[in-house]
């Protein structure tokens, strides 16, 4: 079988030839790539010369580039365009990749060479990037068992293989449960309150499935508008309970045992390596450093948010009375919140959507990044997309310098997991430019209207684009330190700071225009958008904090093993919940961020990074939101540097001071 994955791609920009890649190519290609990577390791180890940075650390960073490329392709496709066959291939290679990593990390001869360089290298004899890479490689080996004995290393290998499989299983279960549910309504009267554009999308979904009426699913663009606008409380309850059951039903997709195993194995792994908990292991390489710092940070925000949240909840209860609701339930909050927003801010979210067609919003985003970072985006057709919904752009500086390829994938489908994320198909290093992908789940265009974004979807697009800029503008020598390869509680700074431009007059005037008339977004709408930024920030902050506390509770030292996921979650959420608990629902079983993604013991980082972004954006507000010098400094010290130095040093170099938490509290309206 001719396998395109076994060699460098002979394509424009060395882009993946998706049209030529078959699912059957992946397993043999990755197996072969593993063999080649191990041979490269053997060459490093077999050198007769004493270990140096140049003959050990640098080639180790470059080792396995073909394997990294092929595994990235597989896992990215498994998230964005999966199938039963692709899931099977992913499950097949996951343990092999875990074994490969373990073989490298347990290679005593390799570690001896790394240790030799580490102990014999004076910090000032290397560039900051070289010093950071050396530190990262040494700690990486130690944190993956290099100092363990043979028996302990074998146990670590078993744990790592099992963890890799469990993470994939968790994601497959949530995806299967999400797509197993649909609500087919044939009486339009039951959908009173739902805006026409969402009715059109639901009717189109039904037509595509050969059914009458309207179909609603648990995918974000379908679920959220339904919960926000449909007046039929019983239907909202039905949808809400279905959403809360993802991974928590008595079927083959139940994630309770998966979570227990993940949590227990992570704890065992940490203790095997000499850490008190998985959180202690993770936080050693975070800006926060330790559990005490995280809890102190969360507690401070909770203290500031609680009074505002209680006031906001009282407003919701008052509004509930107007609809004859005596006891507020979780399926009421989005609906009543929208009513209050319309009443207090007189902001019609659906009318607002008409000023944010996806096409114009994307063009506006391109215009903003051109002003800030001198970037140009050219839609190209000589590179294969991995799906018909995907567009590919060539990104250059305005002087013509090639920067990156950018894949954009915006619409939901059954083969794509929910949410929004940025990823890469090819990493950047000294001689290679990156291939970056943004994947979202926005409302599709209908027969009558183009794709129109809610304001929340606008901020999501800007957020993921911030991550993409971090990847595209990387200028590191070594791929292991490039782009988003930074401390996890620093990685959200580039993404969250981009959201700020969504609230600025000068930026909105570039692209916010009515999809029919091209009329610019009226100033009174912009004033309301600015007020939305502070709307219900108390409740929203508490909600995010509850997820962070839940995450930490699974990954800090626990004296008694968690035997009941639901009871554990319920007890943890008790101080944060204003609505009664629903016994048949569980959030943990669909908490992909910490059980499938990389946010275990790190969910707090969203709020942590908000402090950084609020503080950093104050400088843009002071100098001008399109000030080229400020943007150039942000690119030079943050976006281009990746993980080449400690993030606090990079931040201080840009901001000339440490971040001030009050910037976030002021922006959120939680303090004066």
d(CA 121, CA 50): 13
Bridge partners, 239 (sequence order): none
d(CA 637, CA 285): 20
Of 386, 368, 359, 630, the residue nearest 518 (C-alpha): 359
d(CA 549, CA 553): 6
Give the distance, in angstroms, between the CA of residue 238 and the centroid of all CA atoms in the same chain: 28
Catalytic residue among 130, 200, 464, 499: 464
Buried b (16+ CB within 10 A) or exposed e, 329-359: bbbbbbbbbbbbbeeeeebebbebbbbbbbe
How long a stretch of residues is the chain?
672
Q: Are 409 and 439 in contact (CB under 8 A)?
A: yes
Tokens 């304001």 found at: 455
Is residue 306 classed as helix, strand or coil in its secondary structure? helix
H or E stretch including 611?
A: helix 605-623
Distant-in-sequence contacts of 658-664, Cβ < 8 A, 24+ apart = 659/611, 659/612, 659/615, 659/616, 660/611, 660/615, 661/300, 661/611, 663/611, 663/614, 663/615, 663/618, 664/607, 664/610, 664/611, 664/614, 664/615
464 belongs to the catalytic site: yes
In the sheet where 402-409 sits, what is the strand order? 375-380, 391-397, 402-409, 435-439, 421-426
Of 184, 186, 342, 174, the residue nearest 245 (C-alpha): 174
Angle at CA 127, nearest 5°, toward 123 and 129?
100
Tokens in use for 290? Answer: 């330790």
Q: Are 235 and 190 in contact (CB under 8 A)?
A: yes
So which residues are the catalytic ones? Answer: 464
């Amino acid at each position: 079988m001719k396998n395109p994955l076994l060699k460098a791609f002979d394509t424009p920009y060395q882009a993946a030839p998706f049209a030529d890649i078959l699912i059957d190519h992946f397993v043999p290609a990755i197996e072969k790539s593993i063999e080649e990577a191990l041979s490269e390791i053997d060459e490093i180890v077999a050198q007769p010369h004493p270990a140096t940075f140049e003959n050990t650390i640098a080639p180790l960073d470059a080792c396995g580039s073909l394997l990294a490329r092929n595994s990235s392709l597989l896992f990215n496709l498994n998230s964005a365009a999966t199938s039963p066959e692709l899931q099977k291939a992913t499950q097949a290679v996951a343990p092999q990749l875990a074994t490969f990593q373990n073989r490298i990390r347990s290679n005593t001869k390799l570690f001896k060479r790394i240790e030799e360089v580490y102990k014999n290298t004076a910090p000032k004899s290397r560039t900051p990037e070289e010093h950071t890479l050396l530190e990262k490689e040494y700690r990486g080996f130690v944190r993956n068992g290099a100092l363990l004995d043979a028996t302990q290393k074998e146990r670590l290998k078993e744990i790592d293989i099992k963890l890799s499989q469990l993470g994939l299983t968790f994601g497959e279960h949530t995806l299967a449960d999400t797509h197993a549910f649909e609500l087919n309504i044939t009486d339009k009267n039951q959908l009173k309150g739902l805006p026409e554009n969402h009715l059109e999308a639901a009717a189109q979904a039904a037509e595509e499935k050969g059914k009458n009426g309207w179909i609603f699913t648990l995918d974000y663009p379908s679920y959220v508008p339904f919960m926000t606008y449909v007046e039929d409380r019983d239907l909202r309850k039905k949808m809400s309970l279905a959403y809360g059951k993802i991974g928590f039903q008595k079927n083959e997709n139940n994630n309770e045992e998966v979570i227990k195993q993940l949590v227990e194995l992570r704890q065992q792994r940490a203790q095997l390596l000499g850490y008190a908990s998985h959180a202690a292991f993770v936080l050693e390489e975070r800006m926060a450093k330790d559990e005490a710092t995280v809890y102190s940070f969360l507690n401070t925000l909770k203290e500031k948010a609680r009074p505002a949240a209680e006031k906001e909840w009282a407003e919701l209860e008052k509004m509930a009375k107007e609809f004859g609701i005596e006891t507020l339930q979780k399926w009421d909050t989005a609906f009543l919140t929208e009513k209050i927003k319309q009443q207090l801010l007189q902001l019609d979210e659906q009318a607002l959507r008409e000023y944010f067609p996806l096409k114009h919003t994307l063009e506006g985003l391109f215009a903003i990044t051109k002003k800030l970072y001198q970037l140009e985006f050219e839609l190209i057709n000589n590179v294969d997309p991995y799906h018909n919904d995907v567009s590919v752009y060539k990104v250059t500086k305005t002087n013509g310098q090639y920067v990156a390829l950018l894949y954009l994938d915006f619409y939901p489908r059954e083969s794509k997991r929910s949410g929004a994320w940025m990823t890469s198909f090819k990493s950047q290093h000294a001689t290679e430019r990156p291939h970056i992908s943004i994947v979202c789940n926005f409302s599709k265009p209908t027969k009558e209207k183009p794709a129109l974004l809610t304001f929340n979807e606008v901020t999501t697009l800007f957020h993921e684009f911030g991550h993409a800029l971090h990847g595209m503008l990387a200028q590191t020598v070594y791929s292991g330190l490039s782009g988003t390869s930074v401390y996890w509680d620093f990685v959200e700074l580039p993404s969250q700071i981009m959201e700020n431009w969504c609230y600025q007059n000068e930026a909105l005037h570039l692209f916010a225009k009515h999809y029919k008339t091209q009329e610019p977004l009226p100033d009174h709408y912009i004033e309301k958008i600015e007020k939305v930024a502070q709307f219900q920030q108390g409740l929203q902050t508490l909600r995010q904090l509850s997820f962070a506390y839940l995450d930490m509770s699974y990954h800090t030292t626990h004296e008694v093993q968690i035997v009941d996921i639901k009871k554990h979650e319920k007890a943890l959420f008790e101080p944060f919940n204003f609505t009664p608990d629903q016994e048949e629902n569980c959030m943990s079983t669909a908490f992909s961020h910490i059980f499938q993604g990389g946010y275990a013991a790190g969910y707090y980082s969203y709020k942590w990074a908000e402090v950084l972004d609020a503080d950093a954006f104050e400088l843009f507000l002071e100098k001008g939101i399109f000030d080229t010098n400020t943007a150039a400094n942000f690119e030079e010290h943050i976006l281009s540097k990746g993980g080449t130095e400690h993030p606090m040093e990079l931040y201080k170099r840009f901001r000339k001071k440490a971040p001030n938490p009050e910037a976030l509290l002021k922006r959120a309206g939680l303090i004066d």
